[in-house]
């Protein structure tokens, strides 16, 4: 086990620079920060004393897991979560905070979903208590801890709902010790955002690290150790002579030069709070990293995707390095649950990665973001390797909408991936999106008609979401080309700075927008939502729907419980072989070619076409144009290659052999 008796001091003796790194609310408490884990390693490599603090854990212990969890994970609360700390920086009157809280609580009070939460965010008195008592008390305690360590540098890494908490604590530290250098970085200090935050708060911030910081932070540590000025480091802002200075930086070219993260401090902090408060923090997944950038985004940046183009170039660690990190992190922190921070798994290295993970012979449970273009055999290998949770980037089941998003795929191929993952036992996290300039209402109606046929495969995590405009996304960067006629900072973020202090369009990551090319959101989205509701509900039930086949001696038996009492189907000969070959998306011509040796007469005289049409009518096959896909999944996992060998590996059938008819039996009567 880890030694959690770390004293409240920095990990270095002597009089050199001393760095404190803070992970602020409202970051989730269920995993450590990979950013702090990497930065602390860089400090240790440079011989610089470092201490990582997790004040987000202190806040969670203070307000309770439910409140902290909602602030961390509910996007609707992001603006409010930032505002509660903005008040500490600028004051209630400057932000018209009472009016903001009053409006916010009335909005939340009307929300049915919010009403089901254990925490009453619609209670105005509760929101005022958080603002006026909880946050100041928390910041007082956090500032004392930081200052007691006598740091020379205090750094913050912030994502979507940590910016104002970071700035609030930084301001208190700076007031108490003006000589302490304040550093900021992370996703919501990237690009124009970080520069504008620095321009608006030069009395608080000394440097903002833009983008990836391994090279720039190493240089910063070298300079402070040597006593050299820290201006002019590439990728790092400075404030001199009343203006912002910046030399362009670059992403890290060789990821093997990024150190393995150190999460000891997270567990030390969790143990400290357990001893002080009795609160036990459950770790969901421990992060690791095997790549950065997005190889798909390099070719086609998805229209809604908020990845900075400067960081899009795909780079991967060596397989040896990845395997070593996974094994080391798992062993050191005694967990089998790890999450890859990668934006997409490497399609060049994934097969070797899976094979090496299988060779480890550990019962790992890994999460990766993937593209839904993997082969079935890859998914089988992925599951064996322990990658049992994936986010496949399935945002729609409409081919024209996917084309509009620049996803480079189709609805039928997404259904194929969903089928395979259900059969193989890989858990999915995906969403359904709406609200794209250029969309058509009929696309959503077509999806609503398709959804009931998919009740046996895993539904999206949530019902339909309307997209936001995110900074760095093509929807933001190419607004004119996409006919966006208006955009503004998301309204719940607009009360975080006094008017004129910063440009809201420059500090924002989330924006609201309008386009005359968007279909009116009325009934067509509600129709799709109504179709998805029972799909999600069915999989929350103890016995989710089944639509599967078992292979018998010369026949298939299909069990279908998607609707009502259900049904049984029994298929043989050509019917069976079509179903098995269409386990992967198959064009009609390709199917005919593959079956021509076994069924030459049936292919030539149109019988094959009739069988295909019959299977489509019977909802056994899905058709999109000339492409075909089997809807039921196998009771036992077989790869498409194995199914193909089963169908085509024997002698061609005699010409006299007649395809069996397609009996349809009521399940209740069987």
Strands laid side by side in the 207-209 sheet: 49-53, 18-22, 153-157, 181-185, 207-209
Q: Are 109 and 122 in contact (CB under 8 A)?
A: yes
Write down the residue that tokens 């089928």 correspond to.
419
Higher pLDDT pick, 188 / 13: 188
> What are 375's two structure tokens?
């082969």
Per the DSSP assignment, residues forming a β-bridge with 338 are 286, 366
Query: 586-603, pLDDT tens digit by residue?
Result: 999 999 999 999 999 999
**531: which residues sit within 8 A by CB, 6+ positions away?**
447, 448, 449, 451, 452
Cα separation, 277 vs 594, in Å, equals 67
Confidence of residue 10 (pLDDT cuts 50, 70, 90): low
Q: Which domains does the chain have, with CATH numbers?
A: 19-72+150-257 (3.40.50.2300), 286-535 (3.80.30.20), 547-669 (1.10.10)
CA-CA distances (angstroms) from residue 272 to 201, 230, 401?
Answer: 33, 35, 50
Pick the range with the lowest mean pLDDT from 118-122, 155-159, 568-572. Answer: 118-122
Cα separation, 71 vs 204, in Å, equals 25
Confidence of residue 442 (pLDDT cuts 50, 70, 90): very high
Query: 289-343, pLDDT tens digit by residue?
Result: 999 999 999 999 999 999 999 999 999 999 999 999 999 999 999 999 999 999 9
> What are 365's two structure tokens?
């449970």
> What is the percent of the chain where pLDDT is above 90?
89
Confidence of residue 649 (pLDDT cuts 50, 70, 90): confident
Task: Tell me, rounded to whole angstroms, the distance of Cα 22 from its chain centroid.
Answer: 23
Backbone angles phi, psi at 472, to 5 degrees: 80, -15
Q: What is the mean pLDDT of residues 396-407?
A: 97
pLDDT mean across residues, the chain: 93
Cα separation, 111 vs 114, in Å, equals 5
pLDDT at 551 over 60: yes
Query: 262-290, pLDDT tens digit by residue?
Result: 999 999 999 999 999 999 999 999 999 99
Helix (H) or strand (E) holding 368: strand 365-369
Confidence of residue 662 (pLDDT cuts 50, 70, 90): very low
Backbone angles phi, psi at 196, to 5 degrees: -70, -40
Q: What is the mean pLDDT of residues 363-387?
A: 97
Cα separation, 289 vs 256, in Å, equals 10
**202: number of Cβ within 10 Å:** 16
Alpha helices by DSSP H, 333-490: 350-360, 376-384, 399-405, 411-424, 441-450, 474-477
Cα separation, 603 vs 285, in Å, equals 52
pTM to 2 decimals?
Answer: 0.93
Query: 76-114, pLDDT tens digit by residue?
Result: 899 999 999 999 999 999 999 999 999 988 888 777 677
> What are 60's two structure tokens?
């969670």
Confidence of residue 123 (pLDDT cuts 50, 70, 90): confident
Q: What is the pLDDT of residue 667?
A: 36
Best CA proximity match to 198, nearest among 243, 153, 230:
243
Strands laid side by side in the 365-369 sheet: 286-288, 337-340, 365-369, 387-391, 427-428
Cα separation, 355 vs 318, in Å, equals 14
Q: What is the pLDDT of residue 205?
A: 98
> What are 443's two structure tokens?
């696309």
Cα separation, 389 vs 604, in Å, equals 45
Query: 619-647, pLDDT tens digit by residue?
Result: 999 999 999 999 999 999 999 999 999 99
pLDDT at 484 over 60: yes
Query: 50-61, pLDDT tens digit by residue?
Result: 999 999 999 999
Alpha helices by DSSP H, 46-117: 55-63, 65-73, 78-90, 92-95, 97-110, 112-115
Cα separation, 82 vs 97, in Å, equals 12
Q: What is the pLDDT of residue 232?
A: 96
Q: What is the pLDDT of residue 524?
A: 85
Q: What is the pLDDT of residue 654?
A: 40
Q: Are 273 and 61 in contact (CB under 8 A)?
A: yes
Confidence of residue 656 (pLDDT cuts 50, 70, 90): very low
| Proportion of the chain in helix, strand, coil states, percent, rounded to 5 | 45, 15, 40
Cα separation, 183 vs 215, in Å, equals 15
């Amino acid at each position: 086990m880890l030694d959690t008796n770390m004293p409240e001091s920095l990990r270095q003796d002597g009089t050199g620079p001393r760095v404190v790194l803070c992970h602020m609310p409202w970051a989730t408490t269920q995993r450590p920060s990979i950013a702090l884990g990497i930065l602390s390693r860089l400090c240790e490599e440079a011989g610089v004393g470092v201490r990582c603090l997790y004040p987000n854990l202190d806040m969670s212990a203070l307000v309770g897991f439910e409140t902290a969890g909602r602030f961390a994970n509910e996007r609707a609360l992001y603006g409010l979560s930032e505002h509660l700390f903005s008040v500490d920086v600028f004051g209630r009157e400057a932000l018209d905070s009472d009016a903001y809280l009053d409006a916010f609580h009335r909005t939340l009070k009307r929300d049915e979903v919010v009403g089901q939460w254990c925490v009453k965010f619609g209670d105005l008195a509760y929101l005022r208590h958080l603002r006026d008592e909880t946050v100041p008390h928390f910041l007082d305690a956090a500032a004392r801890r930081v200052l007691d360590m006598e740091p020379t540098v205090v750094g913050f890494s912030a994502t979507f709902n940590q910016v104002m908490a970071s700035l609030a604590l930084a301001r208190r530290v700076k007031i108490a010790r003006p000589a302490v250098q304040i550093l900021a970085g992370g996703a919501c200090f990237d690009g124009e955002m970080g520069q504008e935050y620095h321009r608006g708060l030069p009395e608080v911030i000394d440097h903002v690290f833009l983008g990836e910081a391994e090279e720039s932070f190493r240089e910063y540590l070298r300079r402070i150790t040597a006593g050299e000025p820290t201006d002019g480091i590439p990728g790092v802002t400075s404030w001199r002579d009343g203006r912002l200075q910046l030399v362009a930086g670059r992403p890290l070219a060789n990821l093997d030069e990024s150190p393995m993260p150190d999460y000891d401090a997270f567990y030390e902090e969790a143990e400290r709070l357990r001893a002080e408060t009795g609160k036990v923090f459950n770790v969901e997944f421990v992060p690791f990293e095997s790549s950065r950038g997005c190889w798909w985004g390099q070719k086609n940046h998805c229209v809604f995707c908020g990845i900075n183009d400067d960081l899009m170039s795909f780079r991967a660690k060596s397989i040896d390095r990845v395997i070593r990190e996974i094994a080391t992190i798992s062993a050191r922190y005694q967990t089998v649950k790890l999450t890859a921070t990668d934006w997409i798994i490497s399609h060049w290295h994934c097969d070797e990665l899976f094979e090496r993970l299988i060779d480890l012979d550990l019962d790992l449970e890994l999460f990766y973001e993937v593209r839904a273009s993997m082969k079935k055999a890859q998914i089988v290998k992925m599951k064996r390797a322990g990658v049992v949770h994936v986010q496949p980037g399935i945002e729609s089941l409409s081919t024209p909408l996917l084309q509009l998003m620049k996803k480079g795929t189709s609805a039928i191929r997404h259904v194929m991936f969903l089928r395979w993952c259900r059969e193989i036992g890989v858990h999915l996290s995906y969403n359904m999106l709406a609200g794209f300039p250029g969309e058509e209402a009929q696309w959503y109606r077509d999806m609503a008609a398709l959804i009931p046929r998919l009740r046996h495969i895993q539904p999206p995590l949530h019902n339909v979401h309307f997209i936001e405009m995110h900074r760095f996304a093509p929807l933001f960067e190419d607004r004119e080309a996409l006919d966006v006629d208006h955009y503004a900072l998301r309204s719940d973020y607009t009360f975080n700075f006094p008017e004129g202090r910063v440009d809201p369009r420059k500090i924002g990551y989330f924006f609201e927008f309008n386009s005359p090319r968007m279909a009116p959101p009325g009934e067509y989205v509600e129709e799709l939502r109504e179709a998805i509701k029972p799909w999600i509900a069915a999989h929350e039930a103890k016995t989710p729907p089944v639509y599967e086949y078992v292979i018998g001696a010369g026949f298939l038996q299909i069990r279908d419980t998607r609707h009502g009492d259900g049904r049984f189907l029994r298929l043989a000969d050509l019917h069976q072989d079509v179903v098995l070959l269409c386990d992967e998306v198959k064009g009609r011509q390709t199917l005919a070619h593959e079956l021509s040796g076994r069924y030459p007469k049936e292919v030539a005289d149109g019988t094959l076409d009739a069988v295909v049409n019959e299977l489509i009518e019977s909802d056994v096959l899905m058709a999109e144009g000339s492409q075909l896909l089997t809807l039921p999944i196998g009771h036992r996992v077989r790869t498409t290659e194995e199914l193909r060998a089963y169908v085509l590996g024997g002698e061609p059938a005699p010409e006299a052999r007649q395809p069996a008819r397609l009996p349809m039996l009521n399940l209740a009567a069987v």
